[in-house]
Amino acid sequence: MKPNWQAFATLLLSALAFSGTTDAVEGGLVHTNAIRTIDLRSLPAVTEQIGVVVQNVRDSKAIKTFTVYIPHTKADRLAKVTVHERKSGAELQVSKMDNEHLKTPLSPQPIEYRATFLQPLQPGEKISLNIDCVYLNTIEPRPKVVEQTGDQTWLWKDDARLLWAYPIHKEKTVVRTNGEIKSYSQIKESSKDGKSVTFGPFIGGESPNAPVEVRFRDNREQLEAMTHRREYFVSHWSNDLNILEHYALRNRAPALDAFDKVKQTMSRFMKARDNFVKTLLVKVPADAREMYVVDEIGNVSTSSVTSRQRLNGDAFKVMQLKPRYPLAGQWNYTWWHGYSVPLSNYLRVNRNHHALRVPFIGSIVGSASQNEEIPLTAINTYNTAVSKYELRITLPEGATNVDVRVPFDVDSIRQRPQSYYFDSSGRTVVVVEHANVAPSAVDAHVLVTYDYSMLSLWQKPLVIAFVVFALFALTSLGSRMQLGLAAKPALTAKKTQ
Amino acid sequence: MKVLGLSAVDQTRLLRICILGLISIVAIGSRLYSVLRFESVIHEFDPWFNYRTTKYLVHHGFEKFWNWFDESAWYPLGRVVGGTLYPGIMVTSAAIYNALHALNIPVDIRNVCVFLAPGFSALTAIATYQLGKEVKNETAGLLAAAFMGVAPGYISRSVAGSYDNEGIAIFLLVLTFWLWLRAVRVGSAMSAAVCALSYFYMVSAWGGYVFIINLIPLHVCVLLAMGRFSNRLYVAYSTFYALGTLASMQIPFVGFQPTFTSEHMAALGAFGLIQVVAAAYYVRARVTAVQFRTFVACAAVLVAALLACVLVVLSMRGAVAPWTGRFYSLWDTAYAKVHIPIIASVSEHQPTAWPNFFFDLNVLIWLFPAGIYFSFRELSDNHVFLILYSVFAAYFAGVMVRLILTLTPIVCVLAGVAVANVFEAYLSHSPGPGVAQVPRAAIMGALLFLLCSFQWHSSWITSTAYSSPSVVLASRGPDGSHHIIDDFREAYYWLRRNTEPHERVLSWWDYGYQLAGMADRPTLVDNNTWNNTHIATVGRIMASDEDTAYDLARRHDVDYVLVVFGAMLGYSGDDINKFLWMIRIAQGVYPNDVREQDFFNSAGEYAIGDTASKAMRESLLHKLCYYRFGDVMGAQAFDRVRKQRLPSSVTLHNFEEAYTTENWMVRIYRVKDLDNLGRSHKNAAQFDST
């Protein structure tokens, strides 16, 4: 019999992988107590806060770092991980460990994040930490299909035992929701209190797996931006910063069992609720101008914009976009909108040195309200999660020494050349890509610094002037040239009658 | 007197260039109403096909475009797009697009398409100037160009967004005629070759090239009959015909047609005739009169016998194609109505009502005969052409509404000639007392008033009648506010985003191109009405009762059915009003299954309410339109288009509502899957409810 080399290799590889993880984690720590609070009150973002007490049980050596595991099943929905000291509130530095090479189909590895203690943890010492994780779009509607005006019921599903890198003595999970709890897993350790459910406490190594779920009602809107692209165009000539946002949006609500136009008309007339998202609100700066909304087949003419508004000392305008059709559960809509703002509000100039500071991302709020005018406070709600995000910043032609700074880790930052409007040498486009944008990124800013000289500013007019002049010169030359052998006969003279 | 250091001749030349520039600006500007009122959007039906193919050309390149087989049209037959279209307009747009992108101007292909026709209208004005200058002088040219720039008859087909073949074809028509007249006058092979090139471009752009290839030979024949043979004519026509025909055969859609179809035979005959006449002239110059007479008699008999033999042989072998239906309907206006309902059902194929002439041409319509009169007075070779063009174009314009388009250029040129003659008579410098100038001033004032009123009329017509995209509708509220009714795009975009890309949509053929362009979904029939049977099948599905329709729809893999319904808004161009044409077309193919008289009630009325005939009430289209409409309008409600009571109950079992737009104008139904237990949907519903 021939040895099955492939199976052998896989076995070897997985064995290696297993030894790899055990090696990577420094031993000597235990978690004495952990409380995980899962906040389902601002869906589609799910916030998990894990309060954990970490103790160094070694005899002599101080420990500098500690490892947090994110299960592979949730890893691709993870938006953010932060670790704080509970007492001082100081943030610990967290870095993602690269264990891609250990992944095999047979043994999917959890994602490792390594946090560094502010001071090394001395033997016998305990410390309380808060680990905050944000996940997007992990909650699915159950049932998947409801009536047009039916309630939306959602299912949260996870393991009540967390995946730890170190031994755990005691842990418990609390799930907080915003609506009535329809059902939850009836295990020994579960209990319900109003809108929250507790699983645990679990002691030590007993019941290593405890898959649990909670079904709850939440009729608020939830949308997913499957792709979102924000583009900035910098124009020094017109002191103009043009912003363009492309969206591919999906309503996460349960799907319709059957579309019913009569019922839809009636509920609009009665101002009764239904699951259609009818308006999309976009907050734009108060000095925004030249706004437009377009999709692949033309203008979306049903949109409007409010006058300048003020809320908590923040001045802005709100674009009320009406999609071509109201978005029922699981329906998609794709469009782009744009506007201009004065560049000088975003650009610092120091001789040739320019610093452009712009928001990392813009937010959008979906509303199922039947009202024509949506209340102003709705603009600060979070209900649209961005799964794939791309930021493009197009700098003017001639910008050099481009440097980009984003206040948190992103998946990729690159620069590529591009030519627009009569460019002769092309310009630089900064492209930032990021998957699963955390809700807190709305307040973040990107800083792009670049050098741009006076000569670059005049480059384009000079090139165009030269080309036009050259064309005139050529035409002039051409008209003075005698191409035929004989002198040109005057055509009109030959006109026969 | 010198101004700006220019001589008087240079001054007038500069002035002419400026005037032409202004005319171009006015021509482009007056076509932009639709963009200002609505947006930069492709209009109507056929332009959506042109736009879609242009996008394909831009994104996939010429090679792929040429060989494109579109399996999403005419499901399940498909369409060989590359071989069944006139590629001129797409290639033009793609060339402009690529040129702009080469200059790093990132313009959208949609904007190139939208603004192509206005751009070409400026070129048309310039070509008309050249034509006017060719037949009269610069003054006539400028007047003709000014008329051409704003004449509503041409604007109707060339507003921004009206991305159709005519948009560039009228320019090419005028250009070809100008080059032809120039070639005949000068007698240069070079001019005739350029004319053939322009003709080739025209062939690639529009089926209306047939008009050119019949009119030019006719001009030649009439000149020969008038005894005006000249070597100039011989050189011009021989060059033009040989080159032009060879070039036109390069377009796959035309192919070998110039060698065998009846539409092209006149050109071939004229080519043969001019060779014979040229030979005769050659011989006559070298023999005596008596010998020549014998020669002519013998030759005539020989040639006639030869031609007759060839014709008989070709006809017997079927090589010469019979006349096509659309061509018949040009001569006999009642022909289409009786024999080919699919042609008669198109509104632009209807005979022209006489007010249309005034509507589209205004004062030009009475300057036109004056121009013809002046042409007769001069009657050079060029003027013979103008007269022929006027007579034929006027006739065709009377037969089919849309052919006013081909009449417009000649009307503009002849009106220009007429006005130029008036100017000549009344604006010449003649010394005389002040009193003698009064009649002159009065006549010039009156003429000026008329010209101004023409401009006024044109702008008004353009803005009110010809600037609606018909994809987007507008209405005015009681307070004068502007409302946009965007139901079509709402439905199409819903289909585009919320159905699977392979799912088939059945609708009447009018919406086929729009569905392909905006919803990007396969359709069964579209505006390229090449397969009458397929269209009749769709008509039959619409006219059958629900169970038959369900069976047929499932057999054709239909996933969605789309109907247009205007009863909520009072939109009269809806499917119920088109229903009789669907029935007639279906009846032509399935006379046993669909009968027109079944759809009229006992009183002979085309009713839709409770008094409607049984066939009407049971037909799929009626059900899909009125399904649950009464529930929202109330029990006593009226259909706002037909001003009739709504039917009191409409049941539907085999189809389910998938989407209905804001104003109920477009309703989309999903064809249900077969029942799991093999019951009919009606039985299943009854069972479920008990």
Q: What is the pLDDT of residues B520-559, one digit of tens each?
A: 999 999 888 888 899 999 999 999 999 999 999 999 999 9
Long-range Cβ contacts of B520-524 (<8 Å, 24+ apart): B520/B496, B521/B72, B521/B495, B521/B496, B521/B560, B522/B71, B522/B72, B522/B73, B522/B75, B523/B72, B523/B73, B523/B74, B523/B75, B524/B74, B524/B75, B524/B556, B524/B558
Kindly state whether A486 is in contact with chain B, defined as any CB-CB distance less than 8 angstroms. Answer: no
Percentage with pLDDT > 70 across chain B:
94
Residue B654 has pLDDT above 80, yes or no: yes
pLDDT tier, A13 (very low <50, low <70, confident <90, very high otherwise): very low
**Which pLDDT score, from 0 to 100, does residue A486 have?**
66
Do strands A63-70 and A111-121 pair parallel, antiparallel, or not at all (unpaired)?
A: antiparallel
Q: Which amino acid is at B200?
A: F
What average pLDDT does this structure show over A400-404? Answer: 89
Residue B58 has pLDDT above 90, yes or no: yes
Convert B606-655 into a string of H (helix), E (strand) and C (coil).
Answer: CCCCCCCCHHHHHEHHHHHHHCCHHHHHCCCCEECCCCEECCCCCCCCCE
From A259, A296, A423, residue closest to B659, measured CB to CB: A259
**Which pLDDT score, from 0 to 100, does residue A142 have?**
86
| C-alpha to C-alpha distance for B75 and B576, rounded to whole angstroms | 24
Residue A493 has pLDDT above 70, yes or no: no
- The mean predicted confidence, pLDDT, of chain A is 83
Residue B245 has pLDDT above 90, yes or no: yes
Greatest CA separation for chain B: 107
pLDDT tier, B262 (very low <50, low <70, confident <90, very high otherwise): confident
**Which pLDDT score, from 0 to 100, does residue B322 have?**
52
Q: Judge residue A125's burial from the number of C-beta atoms within 10 Å of its C-beta, 0-12 exposed, 13-18 middle, 19 or more buried.
A: middle
Residues of chain B contacting A302 with CB distance shorter than 8 Å: 484, 486
In order of A394, A447, B389, the CA distances from A345 in angstroms are 17, 13, 65
Would you call A325 and B493 a contact, using CB atoms and an 8 Å cutoff? yes
**Which pLDDT score, from 0 to 100, does residue A80 have?**
87
Would you call B486 and A324 a contact, using CB atoms and an 8 Å cutoff? yes
From A265, A333, A496, residue closest to B497, measured CB to CB: A333
| Secondary structure (DSSP) of A339-356 | EEEEGGGTEEEETTEEEE
**Which pLDDT score, from 0 to 100, does residue A23 have?**
41
Query: What distance in Å separates residue B329's CA from the closest CA in chain A?
Result: 37
Asked if residues A183 and A166 have their Cβ atoms less than 8 Å apart, the reply is: no
Q: Judge residue B156's burial from the number of C-beta atoms within 10 Å of its C-beta, 0-12 exposed, 13-18 middle, 19 or more buried.
A: buried
Q: Which site among B44, B104, B657 would you substitute to test the A interface, given the most A Cβ atoms closer than 10 Å to its Cβ? A: B104
Q: Which pair of structure tokens corresponds to residue B150?
A: 């704003």
Would you call B39 and A259 a contact, using CB atoms and an 8 Å cutoff? no
Residue A133 has pLDDT above 80, yes or no: yes
3 state DSSP class of A200 = strand
What angle (nearest 5°) sits at the alpha carbon of residue B436, between those of residues B434 and B441? Answer: 85
Residue A91 has pLDDT above 90, yes or no: no
Long-range Cβ contacts of A283-287 (<8 Å, 24+ apart): A283/A316, A283/A317, A283/A318, A283/A362, A283/A363, A283/A379, A284/A316, A284/A317, A284/A318, A284/A319, A284/A339, A284/A362, A285/A316, A285/A317, A285/A341, A285/A345, A286/A315, A286/A316, A286/A317, A287/A341, A287/A342, A287/A345
What average pLDDT does this structure show over A125-144? Answer: 88
Residue B128 has pLDDT above 90, yes or no: yes
Element holding A311 (H helix, E strand): strand A309-311
From A262, A419, A420, residue closest to B631, measured CB to CB: A262
pLDDT in tens, B354-363: 888 888 888 8
3 state DSSP class of B387 = helix
Q: Which amino acid is at A9?
A: A
Would you call B497 and A261 a contact, using CB atoms and an 8 Å cutoff? no
Residues of chain A contacting B381 with CB distance shorter than 8 Å: 496
Query: What distance in Å separates residue A197's CA from the closest CA in chain B?
Result: 37
Residues of chain B contacting A297 with CB distance shorter than 8 Å: 41, 489, 492-493, 496, 517-518
Cβ-Cβ pairs closer than 8 A, A with B, add up to 75
Would you call A334 and B497 a contact, using CB atoms and an 8 Å cutoff? yes
Instruction: Say which residues have a Cβ less than 8 Å from residue B435's Cβ, sequence separation at least 6.
Output: none
**Which pLDDT score, from 0 to 100, does residue A231 have?**
93
Kindly state whether B690 is in contact with chain A, defined as any CB-CB distance less than 8 angstroms. Answer: no
Do strands A140-141 and A153-159 pair parallel, antiparallel, or not at all (unpaired)?
A: antiparallel
pLDDT in tens, A283-297: 888 888 888 899 888
| C-alpha to C-alpha distance for A186 and B38, rounded to whole angstroms | 60
| C-alpha to C-alpha distance for B141 and B144, rounded to whole angstroms | 5
pTM for this model (two decimals)? 0.88
- What residues pair up with A340 in beta bridges, in sequence order? A242, A289
> Residue A223: phi, psi to the nearest 5?
-130, 155
Among chain B residues, CA nearest to A262: B632
Query: What distance in Å separates residue A49's CA from the closest CA in chain B?
Result: 37
Residue A17 has pLDDT above 50, yes or no: no
Residue B36 has pLDDT above 50, yes or no: yes
Residues of chain B contacting A491 with CB distance shorter than 8 Å: 186
3 state DSSP class of B435 = helix
pLDDT in tens, B77-90: 889 988 888 999 99
| C-alpha to C-alpha distance for B337 and B585, rounded to whole angstroms | 11
pLDDT tier, B1 (very low <50, low <70, confident <90, very high otherwise): low
Would you call A262 and B186 a contact, using CB atoms and an 8 Å cutoff? no
- The mean predicted confidence, pLDDT, of chain B is 87
| C-alpha to C-alpha distance for B226 and B210, rounded to whole angstroms | 24
Asked if residues B229 and B387 have their Cβ atoms less than 8 Å apart, the reply is: no
Q: What is the DSSP letter of B156?
A: T
Count of Cβ atoms closer than 10 Å to residue A221 Cβ? 27
pLDDT in tens, A335-390: 999 999 999 889 998 888 999 999 999 889 988 888 877 777 788 888 899 999 99
| C-alpha to C-alpha distance for B388 and B214, rounded to whole angstroms | 11
> Residue B371: phi, psi to the nearest 5?
-60, -40
Would you call B497 and A497 a contact, using CB atoms and an 8 Å cutoff? no
A400-419 residues touching B, CB cutoff 8 A: 419
Sign of CA dihedral A56, A58, A63, A68: negative
| C-alpha to C-alpha distance for A272 and B366, rounded to whole angstroms | 64
